[in-house]
Amino acid sequence: MKKLVSLLVAALLVMSGVMFADVFASRTKITNPNGSPFDGKLNDGTGVKIWYYLNDTATVIVVKVMNASTNAVVATINATNQGRFSNPNSVAWDGTGSVVGAKYYVTITTTGLVYSDTRYTSFYFQQTSPIGSISTGIFTRGTDINTNMNTRGFGYWYCSNADGGSSGYKTGTLRYNPDGSFAGTAADHPSLVNTLGTANSGTFNWGATAPWTAALDSKGRVYQVSNGGNFVTRLDNDSATPKIIFRNIVAPRGIFATGEGANLKLYIAADTVVWRANIGNNDTLNTPLELVASLGAYVRDVILDDAGFLIATLRTGAAGVAPGYVERYDISSGLPKKRSNATFSITHTTGLPVCLALKHGADKNSATDDTLYYSIRGLNGTDTLNLGIHEVTALDGFFEEKRIFKSGDVPGSLGGNNNANADFALDWAGNIVWFENANEEIFMVATPRKTATVTLTTRGYDTISVQNSSSVRENGAHPDEFALHQNYPNPFNPSTMISYSLPSNARVSVVVYDILGNIVNELFTGEAQQGYNAIMWNGSNSSGLKVASGIYLYRITAQVDGRSYSDTKRMLMLK
């Protein structure tokens, strides 16, 4: 039944065509067109394939190839209506404009429609079992997302999971793609194999109730804790085994990493106190833990805002006795802090605060423009006024708090109460990713926007190194005349790139016709940059339906320096 509900909800999201989040590209990868590692050759008729994941549907995608030394645009490639349901997405570049011995990187700009200007909206929802051979749902105790595009793992979600059993999600670290699909090192599973506990035929002893928490540092390394074993681990890469970086910390739960290099620090919620570990560049902690706060209440999670203040979720007792609190402390001096030192305290008389996430404002030295999120578990499932995710704004002023989302808002969700260990995180664009394991459900939630569309740009981690011959066509980086190139590949199925060169910036239209001259699809109308440009045609008409096999014409019209240029070529679609 769960699987049927999940599939129905997913189908509704696809058919509606209106649920768009803040869309961005990540997990960028450079290969040969067949998916093999790029061989550095651009004159062998193969060119380069640029792959990326989208967290939701983008109406317009602009991929730019940039010279790594000069940051000059070498090629601009356009695509339309790619999304999470066609991941991984891709475009092709034949190398036109490249120079032997140079390196290039790519930027990907995506534009997506906004779902709502007033409310938080779930644009993706799934129940986590049964899926394939997995019959037992998630039991996550911590979630975080890699939001650093200067790391190879940009876009991945990481979760600490416990008590899954051999037929479930297994004790260890789970990894997901930015669209919610599995990205584990095990086949058809999100588990990173080398993190599996001994109870799941793995090699790492997490202890009785572990792991808890998943927190990433600036290098994309994942920190987790063993609540039962009283130690803290670090996962240096996705094929590594967890590394114990220090022991003898009583009942660690929430953890937060801040700073980089010699200034890297960990803040750990442990029983009723908060510790600071000045780990720096070391693989193990070489200095004593610092006591930052002694709060006399069960501390579940901790985070720092942009002002450097500590924020903690507190409960009256480990068993989950109400009331619960969200409190903020100035930790710049006078440590350890007590509860009487709190700069604000939000009380939930019937709710139990669980986990925290922070959306940073433009001013990285002030919390005034930060947005704090925290989740609440009710004392029971009827506490509908509290349970769910809450928002706090104006942390440095007269803060405002409100509940902004609950699982019962989503059709198909089982709703009800939240788990005391259900965690969530924000992706790079600020969408909420919530692993709500009371009902074994995952939600992706878009924030409200006042604009009709949102345009975001990310940079790929991999670079393109040209080892011999500049391109398939040997065209220069700065053409001195308008030129329409033959589509590539040709014949094609299911998609092809239509490319052209411009001597200067121009207004361009790209239109596909059938052999009788009827318009099939208007692919692009707008401003195009000097140099090499391309747009992908996926073999569909203006209604989105796939066209029949046969010969088609593509025509480019360009207005350049007051003059009009146009040219037409043929291409063959084969099925």
In a domain, 133, yes or no: yes
In a domain, 174, yes or no: yes
- Return the H-helix or E-strand segment holding 295: none
137 plus 1 within the same structural domain = no
Which residue range(s) make up the domain with 146?
Answer: 121-447
Q: Is the pLDDT of residue 259 over 50?
A: yes
Q: What is the mean pLDDT of the chain?
A: 89
3 plus 144 within the same structural domain = no
547 plus 457 within the same structural domain = no
In a domain, 471, yes or no: no
274 plus 152 within the same structural domain = yes
CATH, residue 374: 2.130.10.10
228 plus 136 within the same structural domain = yes
The residue-averaged pLDDT of 191-202 equals: 92
Last residue of a domain, one of 433, 466, 499: 466
Q: Is the pLDDT of residue 475 over 80?
A: no
- Return the H-helix or E-strand segment holding 44: none
426 plus 510 within the same structural domain = no
Strand partners, 327: 312, 345
* Alpha-carbon torsion (116, 119, 120, 126), positive or negative: negative
Q: Is the pLDDT of residue 442 over 70?
A: yes
In a domain, 507, yes or no: yes
CATH, residue 499: 2.60.40.4070
67 plus 139 within the same structural domain = no
332 plus 422 within the same structural domain = yes
388 plus 522 within the same structural domain = no
pLDDT single digits (tens) 80-124:
889 998 899 999 888 887 888 889 999 999 999 998 999 999 999
- Return the H-helix or E-strand segment holding 445: strand 441-446
pLDDT of residue 463: 92
Q: How many CB atoms lie within 10 A of CB 2?
A: 18
540 plus 430 within the same structural domain = no
pLDDT single digits (tens) 484-514:
988 888 898 888 889 888 888 889 999 999 9
Question: Per the structure, how many domains does the chain have?
Answer: 3
In degrees rounded to 5, what are phi and psi of residue 508? -130, 145
pLDDT of residue 380: 77
Query: E strands within 116-221?
Result: 121-127, 140-145, 157-161, 172-176, 212-216
Ramachandran category for residue 381: left, alpha or beta (phi over 0 → left; psi -120 to 50 → alpha):
alpha
* Alpha-carbon torsion (16, 18, 22, 26), positive or negative: positive
Q: Is the pTM higher than 0.85? A: yes
- Return the H-helix or E-strand segment holding 13: helix 2-16
- The percentage of residues in the chain with a pLDDT greater than 90, rounded to a whole number, is 65
The residue-averaged pLDDT of 375-382 equals: 84
The residue-averaged pLDDT of 350-356 equals: 92
535 plus 460 within the same structural domain = no
Q: Is the pLDDT of residue 342 over 60?
A: yes
Q: What is the CA 25 to chain-centroid distance, rounded?
A: 8
Residue type, 166: S
Write down the H helix ranges in 44-148.
Answer: none
485 plus 457 within the same structural domain = no
- pLDDT band with cut points at 50, 70 and 90 for residue 563: confident
- Residue in the block written with tokens 């939630």: 445
Do 191 and 159 form a contact (C-beta atoms < 8 A)?
no
- pLDDT band with cut points at 50, 70 and 90 for residue 313: very high
In a domain, 473, yes or no: no
Q: Is the pLDDT of residue 76 over 60?
A: yes
At 267, list the tokens: 């803040």
- pLDDT band with cut points at 50, 70 and 90 for residue 402: very high
CATH, residue 90: 2.60.40.10
In a domain, 472, yes or no: no
- pLDDT band with cut points at 50, 70 and 90 for residue 6: very low
Do 392 and 367 form a contact (C-beta atoms < 8 A)?
no
The residue-averaged pLDDT of 162-169 equals: 81
pLDDT single digits (tens) 325-334:
999 999 999 9
The residue-averaged pLDDT of 347-373 equals: 93
Q: Taking Cα atoms as reference points, which of 59, 64, 33 lies closest to residue 47?
A: 33
